[in-house]
Every structure is written in structure tokens, then in C-alpha cells.
Amino acid sequence: MANLKAIRQRIRSVQNTQKITRAMRLVAAAKVRRAQMRTLAARPFTGRIVRLLQQVCEEVASIDLQGLPLLERREVKKVALIVLTSDRGLCGSYNTNVLKASARRIQALRDEGKEVGLITVGLKAASFFKRIKVDKFKTFTLLPAVPSIQEAKLIAEHASELYEKKEVDAVEIIGSDFVNMIRQDVVHTKYLPVDLPEGVDHYPLSSETIFEPTLMELMEEELLPKYVENVLYQALLEASASELAARMNAMSNASNNAKELIQALTLEYNKARQASITQELLEIVGGAEALNK
């Protein structure tokens, strides 16, 4: 009977866990749709800002862009990595993939003789890099569940300040791109200085393009601020959608595994109960035969 009691307790425990995983899956499923819509809606604007800034940088004489620190290219001796993870776990391999990619990138930069510093976003990144000897510039944790342009601006300003003060010579972002509900790809993005990603199509600026009031003011007040804010904002949106999709899939798999485990435990319980009943019947029959003798 003690064995039956233990099996019953385990079945109840798994059932309670299944209720939690089902609830978490439903919550993630409800949130991921909105996150997907936000991510897809922001992509065209961010892409256009990036392309426009890149077109200006490519087609305007370099002398006209002097005095803009975010566009200054210099020998890369130290790199800042912005690592985007979540504050919570239970989202499958989402955080693990990002952190592994970050560790590989750190090692690759060190092999090239370059120094590395980190700007970590999320408790998982902060916890992981506590155990690794590497410079930490800033840690952002417990951010709102829905990314906002204010958060992106805060992180972007810190990264821009590091670059402008020449504390680092390049800034890169390591996060996840939301592809669909099942697939989320880890991506490595060059952030500062402004660089043209491979495979980006753009149209040349017209020779009659006029910049008002001046090109420098346009770059300083409009294009560069929008670039640093929106590229990072898009990365946060992609990371948020990827996290929710990964959590939904992880909780769905956990619920299915719990169901299979409950079925296996129920079968084991029924077999043990049947064996117990059979044993009791045998004892009763044996006792009756002993009395008859």
C-alpha cells in the first residue's frame, strides 16, 4: 500500500505541474501574438532608417561627415557586446543559445587580440557572465515585459557614449531574430559605427537631393538618433517575441510530457493495485483453506 500511496502522490504532483505549464503556455500564446505584430510592424520603419543613413554615408563625401563621432571609424582594439536575454527562464534553449553565441564571440575577439566589454540585458545574461572574467560596462535587468522606445533609448545612449568617448572602438548586438512561432535565430549585428549589412538592397540617392537645413544638422538631430534608438528597439522587440515563442513551445512540450508521464504512472498504479488485490485474495483463500483443514 505504501507503494500505491507514493504513486498517487507522484501523479498528483505531475498533474499540478501540468496545470502550471498549461497556464504558462496559454499566457505566452496570448502575448506572443501581440509581440509578433509589434515586431513585424516596426521592421519597415527601422529598415528604412538604416538604409537611408547608410545611403547618405556611402554617397556623401566623407569630408562632409567629419565631426560626427558615431560615424568615425578607427582601429578596433576594444569591442562592446550588447547581449540580449530574458529575466526569466522556462523558455527552452532561448537564453542558452544567445549566451553560447556570446561566449563564442568573446573568445573569437580575444583570439584576434581585442579586448571585450559587455552591456548585458536581462537577469540571465547578468547571472551567466558573473562567472566569466570579462569587463561589464552596464547591466539592465527587470525591464518591462513589453519593450518601449524609452528603454531602447536608455541602452542606446549608454552604448553611444562609450563609443563617442573612445572607451570602445565598435559596438555589436547579440540577440535573437523572430522568424516564426517555431524558429528563432541567434543573430550578431554590427551596431556602431554605422555599417552596411550584407544583402541589404537600397536605391542610390538622387543627385538633386537637398538636405535641409544642413546635412550635419539632419544627421545629428534626426538620422543618427533615430538609427541608434530604432535599431536597438527593433532588437528588443525581436528578442521579446522570440522569448515568448520559445516559452510557449517549451510549456507546450512540458504539458505533453506531463500527460505522457501521468498515463505511464496511472498504468503503473493500476498494475500495482491489481497485484495488491490479487495478493489479498490469495491470502484470504489461503486462510480459508487453512481453517478447513
Residues tagged active-site: 91
Cell representation of residue 285: 483463500
Cα(189)–Cα(202) distance, rounded to whole angstroms? 18
Q: Are 87 and 180 in contact (CB under 8 A)?
A: no
Helical axes 224-292 vs 149-164, angle rounded to 10°:
120
Sheet holding 115-121, edge to edge: 135-140, 115-121, 78-84, 170-178, 184-192
Cα(99)–Cα(93) distance, rounded to whole angstroms? 10
- Beta strands at 170-178 and 184-192: parallel, antiparallel or unpaired: antiparallel
Cα(221)–Cα(210) distance, rounded to whole angstroms? 16
Task: Specify the residue for cell string 510557449.
Answer: 248
Cα(21)–Cα(251) distance, rounded to whole angstroms? 5
Q: Are 79 and 108 in contact (CB under 8 A)?
A: no
Cα(281)–Cα(273) distance, rounded to whole angstroms? 12
Q: Are 240 and 145 in contact (CB under 8 A)?
A: yes
Q: Chain centroid to CA 134: how far?
A: 21
Any residues with CB less than 8 A from the CB of 216 and at least 6 apart, and which? Answer: 64, 67, 68
